[in-house]
Amino acid sequence: MLDPAVSDQWWKNAVVYCVDVSRFMDSNGDGVGDFRGLTQRLPYLSGLGVTCLWLLPFYPSPGRDDGYDVSDYYAVDPRLGSLGEFVEFVRTARGLGIRVVTDLVVNHTSSDHPWFRDARRSRDSTYRDWYVWSDEEPEQQGKIIFPDKEDSNWAWDEEAGQYYLHRFYSSEPDLDIANPDVRDEIHRIMGFWLELGVSGFRIDAAPYLIGDTGIEDEMPQDPHDFLEDMRGFLSRRRGDAVLLGEVNLDPGERETFFGDEGDELTCLFDFIMSGAVFTAMARGEAGPLADQLRRTPRPPRTAQWLNFLRNHDELNLSRLPEDQKQDVMHAFAPDEEMRIFDRGIRRRLPPMVDGDRRRIELAISLVMTLPGTPVLLYGEEIGMGDDLGTEGRRSVRTVMQWSDGPNGGFSTGEDLAAPLIDHGPFRYQDVNVADQRRHEDSLLNRVERAIRVRKESPEFGWGSWSVLDTGDRRVLAHRCDWLGSAVVAVHNLSGDDVEVRLDLHAGQQVDDVADLFGNDRFEPLDPEDAVFALSPYGYRWLRGRGAGSEVAL
């Protein structure tokens, strides 16, 4: 039985699915995905096993930064639908057991936002102090996030007669989080969407929300207090809601965003673990991943790590040691057009591994079993590819491939919101939901089964973890323990046949070991002499049983 004190922590054993509404399903033939289309596809997502949808920005926006340049926080982009259709979507999702988390982009606004338009008109404007201004361009510059587009964090505004701070694009002026009026407004934005039924927010670029802004000296308190205030507001309004944090920082620094008592961000995306997965896959060795598992601290009781392979941005390798970064680049992005910002890869996983089904499954198995909560990007379940002919990070944001019909079943329109992959090995005629549904051994069906077993194995999400000695540098084995039960996952990172022997029960009597999931039909293991024979890129999940009931391994 779950501890009543943490029984509402649904996110500990969730399966999160990232969706761009505009690229998922078009219901009216205008070429743009919308909430009606997404609502129509909710039964598909429910059948897949998804329990939480993370929505990329859907607010009104001039679209200079894929919707992250917000011009109205209290509305839905008219192309995507209405507030009423959003509410209907959330209600339908809830009825299918799916929660909804939305992107909260409040470190900056669009330069088209009414607040900024008013602020630039006069120094006496109510909104002037909602942004960060300077009469002279500061000599000290922070890190330029998009060096291919910007050469400064400050931009001159002719109408205002001052420079304004922008840590991202110059069309996205930073809000002054030190201003209590701005903080109150952020709470109002959160409260508005919570009232419409969302289960929390993903905080975009969380470190830039509270720090490295050029105004730290003006902050009246510890900047982290603002995150604690956000978490407190969220908990008061809805006790089971979450804050998911995009925090790509070095070890030791990133964990501070959980808060000393686990009272800031609920979950952090583990960028360092993601980099370790790709390093291990690039080298065909378990070492980088095993080392990172050993180094990763257990989060506070009220917090969690989020594991992912790819998200909607580039595969960010900025936290990897230089030798590991170069190995990953060489293996998965050998051409310059595949790279971006000198720190990342703008490809989806299947093209990175040349469509090798074994390696795709291996990666999915890893993200499902690593300690924490798995996050999938839309289309990952069918092995969608990318379009390197599209500018920048949009290469991985192509439209969803539903069938081999016109426009891949995404839309009946002609002018699509995003590219459709209609050439090469990942074209929609060959990679689509309808086709894979018809084939029992398809990637879609394997992922669906993996999700089902993952949800039946709460040890991966709730438990403490340890790395097991395999005696073979190519094989990773780790164990997760929770409430007297334990599961073990074994992965062969190499293209070789391997055989390893593991001590499963660690001194406890185990009558037999039951297979949960794997890439093959395996012979039953002898717990006293557990020999694992794995094919190239093979994997196996197990749980111990004894005396008619499940026990710790």
- Please compute the mean of the pLDDT values over residues 223-245 and round it to a whole number: 93
pLDDT of residue 221: 63
Annotated active-site residue 184? The verdict is no
pLDDT of residue 549: 37
416, pLDDT greater than 70: yes
pLDDT of residue 511: 55
- Please compute the mean of the pLDDT values over residues 32-46 and round it to a whole number: 98
Q: Please check whether residue 459 is in contact with residue 419, taking contact to mean a CB–CB distance below 8 angstroms.
A: no
Supply 496's token pair: 């070789």
Q: Please check whether residue 132 is in contact with residue 165, taking contact to mean a CB–CB distance below 8 angstroms.
A: yes
Supply 491's token pair: 């992965």
pLDDT of residue 547: 35
pLDDT of residue 523: 85
Q: Please check whether residue 131 is in contact with residue 175, taking contact to mean a CB–CB distance below 8 angstroms.
A: yes
Among 132-136, 215-219, 291-295, the range scoring the smallest mean pLDDT is 215-219
Instruction: Identify the active-site residue in 204, 270, 361, 386.
Output: 204
Report yes or no on whether pTM surpasses 0.85.
yes
507, pLDDT greater than 70: no
Q: Please check whether residue 90 is in contact with residue 188, taking contact to mean a CB–CB distance below 8 angstroms.
A: no
- Please compute the mean of the pLDDT values over residues 26-39 and round it to a whole number: 98
Query: Which residue's entry shows tokens 């840590």?
Result: 167
- Please compute the mean of the pLDDT values over residues 376-391 and round it to a whole number: 96
Q: At what angle do helices 357-369 and 271-283 cross, to 10 degrees?
A: 150
Compute the distance between CA of residue 56 and CA of residue 35 in angstroms, rounded to an integer: 12
Supply 197's token pair: 């039924």
5, pLDDT greater than 70: no
To 10 degrees, the CA torsion angle through 359, 267, 346, 174?
Answer: 180
Among 199-203, 355-359, 519-523, the range scoring the smallest mean pLDDT is 519-523
- Mention the CATH class of domain 4-107+180-455: alpha beta
* Residue extents of the structural domains in the chain: 4-107+180-455, 114-165, 464-550
Task: Write down the CATH superfamily of domain 114-165.
Answer: Oligo-1,6-glucosidase; Domain 2 (3.90.400.10)
In 3-state terms the chain splits into helix, strand, coil percentages (rounded to 5) of 30, 20, 50
- Please compute the mean of the pLDDT values over residues 212-232 and round it to a whole number: 73
Q: Please check whether residue 453 is in contact with residue 517, taking contact to mean a CB–CB distance below 8 angstroms.
A: yes
Supply 55's token pair: 């929505």
551, pLDDT greater than 60: no
Compute the distance between CA of residue 299 and CA of residue 314 in angstroms, rounded to an integer: 26
pLDDT of residue 209: 86
- Distances from the Cα of 16 to the Cαs of 363, 377, 440, 492, in angstroms? 16, 9, 24, 25
Q: Percent of the chain scored above 70 by pLDDT?
A: 93
Residues 309-323 have pLDDT tens digits of: 998 888 999 999 999
508, pLDDT greater than 80: no
DSSP code per residue over 448-471: HHHHHHHHT-THHHHSEEEEEP-S
Annotated active-site residue 246? The verdict is yes
CB count within 10 Å of CB 483 equals 13
pLDDT of residue 145: 80
Q: At what angle do helices 357-369 and 443-455 cross, to 10 degrees?
A: 20
List, in sequence order, every residue forming a beta bridge with 18; answer none if it has no partner.
54, 377
Residues 6+ positions from 385 with CB-CB distance below 8 Å: 348, 350, 351, 398, 421, 424, 425, 426, 431
Q: How confident is the model at residue 479 (pLDDT cuts 50, 70, 90)?
A: very high
Residues 297-307 have pLDDT tens digits of: 999 999 999 99
pLDDT of residue 424: 95
Residues 51-107 have pLDDT tens digits of: 999 999 999 999 999 999 999 999 999 999 999 999 999 999 999 999 999 999 999
109, pLDDT greater than 70: yes
Residues 174-220 have pLDDT tens digits of: 999 989 999 999 999 999 999 999 999 999 989 988 875 555 555 55
138 HSE (CA, 13 A, CB side): 15
Q: Does domain 464-550 have CATH number 3.40.190.10?
A: no
3-state secondary structure of 549: strand
Mean pLDDT of the chain: 92
pLDDT of residue 466: 94
Instruction: Identify the active-site residue in 176, 246, 380, 386.
Output: 246
3-state secondary structure of 477: strand
Q: How confident is the model at residue 533 (pLDDT cuts 50, 70, 90)?
A: very high
Question: Which residue would you say has higher pLDDT here, 245 or 216?
Answer: 245
Residues 6+ positions from 217 with CB-CB distance below 8 Å: none
Angle, vertex CA 101, rays to CA 96 and CA 103, nearest 5: 150
pLDDT of residue 219: 55
